[in-house]
């Protein structure tokens, strides 16, 4: 990974509560001579505003070159949004676009949702600042009787490039592997989406009720972990899951080679990796194997792993991975007729 990428991540991602969760992945380490991006406790709101959100998205008209005159003509009903500090063009939109400034929507509105001061666990910018997120966490890490350590959080994200609507949702950070997981592993997580349009508003009372807020996430996730840890997955069922999750092509070639590599990696995680093996033989171990593979082992194309993982957390794609894993496993356990609980 290039020094430029490390410098960008150091300046544009902030990681809090390291005394509780440990340091984040190597690509988030601070570089010599730069301001550290790790905090032992909560990240001060002032630091997020200063280090990440200390600029504005400025609206500007759009001009195009006329093929007839060679001069510039203003594009009707189109505006660009640029960073006030460096002039970077974040995105182009119609006149009906309603901007959601990061400090207002990802700090002030989250504080309103919680009716309290926010304790920020992580925050950052992606795509040159066109995408931003803030994660609010409880101070203490929770450990279930099954040995699963996690941190529930309320996650907010928005963009200035049109890639996503403003989103607030419940999520979980799995400490053992620094992975993001859905608050509800087996089903779609609760979330609120607000479009960037003048008629779309965040109704705080409705949002609080729908999200159930951060503190109820712990009970829900703990209950699901307990159920999954009590669901036995035998070696034969694991093999059947691999066949369903990553089928082996009959013909030799690149597809077969890639499938073999993926299956071998998943088997290594399942049997030997410290992030997965403690729950070997259970449905939770299967979820851990696939989730850890997706975060840490899967080939990344046209992006850095750090950016890819965070974008998946923001868009909810990583939660879809967990849901799909459990759906496949449920089919396998039903088909084998060996579904059992410890």
Q: What's the pLDDT tens digit per position in 192-219?
A: 889 999 888 888 887 877 777 676 788 8
Q: Which residue has the higher pLDDT, 227 or 336?
A: 227
pLDDT reported for residue 81: 97
Q: Picking from 82-86, 103-107, 238-242, 294-298, which range would have the lowest pLDDT averaged per residue?
A: 294-298
Whole-number pLDDT of residue 93: 96
More confident site: 235 or 215: 235
Residue 24 is predicted with a pLDDT of 56
pLDDT at 341 over 70: no
Structure tokens at 267: 């088997």
Question: What are the residue boundaries of the structural domains of the chain, listed by start?
Answer: 3-53+100-214, 57-94, 226-341
309-330: average pLDDT: 85
pLDDT at residue 211, rounded to an integer: 74
Q: Is the pLDDT of residue 187 over 70?
A: no
Per-residue pLDDT of 249-265, as tens digits, reads: 988 889 999 999 999 99
- Calculate what percentage of the chain has a pLDDT beyond 90: 48
How high is the pLDDT of residue 154? Answer: 86
- Report pTM: 0.82
Reported as half-sphere exposure (CB side, CA atoms, 13 A), residue 62 has a value of 16
The mean pLDDT value of the chain amounts to 85
The pLDDT of residue 210: 72
143-148: which pairs have CB atoms within 8 A and are 24 or more residues apart?
A: 144/222, 144/225, 144/226, 145/226, 146/225, 146/226, 146/229, 146/279, 146/284, 147/278, 147/279, 148/174, 148/176, 148/225, 148/229, 148/279, 148/284
| 114-150 tens-digit pLDDT | 877 778 999 999 889 999 999 988 778 889 999 999 8
CB-based burial of residue 158 (10 Å sphere; 0-12 exposed, 13-18 middle, 19+ buried)? buried
Using CA of residue 42, residue 46, residue 47, residue 48, what is the dihedral sign? positive
**pLDDT digit string (tens) for 288-310?**
999 999 988 888 776 677 777 77
Give the tens place of pLDDT for each residue, 19-36.
877 665 434 455 555 678
Q: Are strands 131-137 and 120-126 parallel, antiparallel or unpaired?
A: antiparallel
Distance CA 93, CA 309 (A): 27
Res. 6: pLDDT tops 80? no
């Amino acid at each position: 990974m290039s020094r430029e990428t490390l410098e960008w991540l150091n300046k544009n991602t902030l990681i809090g509560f390291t005394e509780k969760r440990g340091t984040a992945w190597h690509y988030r380490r601070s570089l010599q001579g730069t301001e550290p991006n790790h905090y032992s406790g909560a990240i001060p709101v002032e630091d997020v505003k200063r280090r990440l959100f200390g600029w504005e998205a400025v609206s500007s008209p759009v001009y195009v070159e006329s093929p007839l005159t060679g001069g510039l003509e203003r594009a009707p009903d189109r505006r660009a949004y640029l960073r006030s500090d460096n002039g970077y063009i974040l995105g182009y939109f119609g006149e009906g676009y309603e901007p959601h400034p990061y400090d207002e929507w990802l700090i002030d509105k989250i504080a309103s949702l919680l009716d309290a001061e926010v304790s920020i666990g992580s925050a950052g910018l992606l795509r040159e600042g066109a995408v931003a997120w803030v994660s609010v966490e409880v101070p203490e890490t929770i450990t279930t009787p099954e040995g699963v350590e996690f941190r529930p959080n309320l996650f907010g994200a928005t963009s200035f490039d049109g890639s996503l609507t403003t989103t607030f949702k419940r999520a979980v950070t799995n400490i053992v592997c620094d992975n993001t997981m859905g608050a509800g592993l087996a089903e779609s997580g609760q979330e609120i989406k607000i479009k960037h349009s003048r008629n779309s508003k965040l109704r705080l009372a409705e949002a609080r009720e729908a999200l159930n807020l951060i503190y109820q996430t712990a009970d829900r996730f703990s209950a699901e972990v307990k159920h999954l840890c009590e669901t036995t997955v035998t070696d034969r069922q694991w093999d059947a899951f691999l066949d369903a999750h990553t089928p082996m092509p009959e013909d030799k070639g690149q597809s077969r080679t890639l499938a073999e590599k993926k299956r071998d990696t998943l088997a290594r995680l399942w049997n030997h990796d410290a992030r997965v093996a403690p729950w070997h033989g259970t449905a939770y171990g299967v979820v851990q194997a696939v989730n850890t593979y997706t975060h840490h082992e899967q080939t990344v194309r046209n992006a850095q792993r750090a950016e890819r993982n965070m974008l998946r957390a923001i868009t909810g794609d990583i939660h879809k991975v967990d849901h799909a894993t459990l759906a496949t496993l449920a089919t396998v356990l039903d088909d084998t007729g060996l579904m059992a609980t410890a």
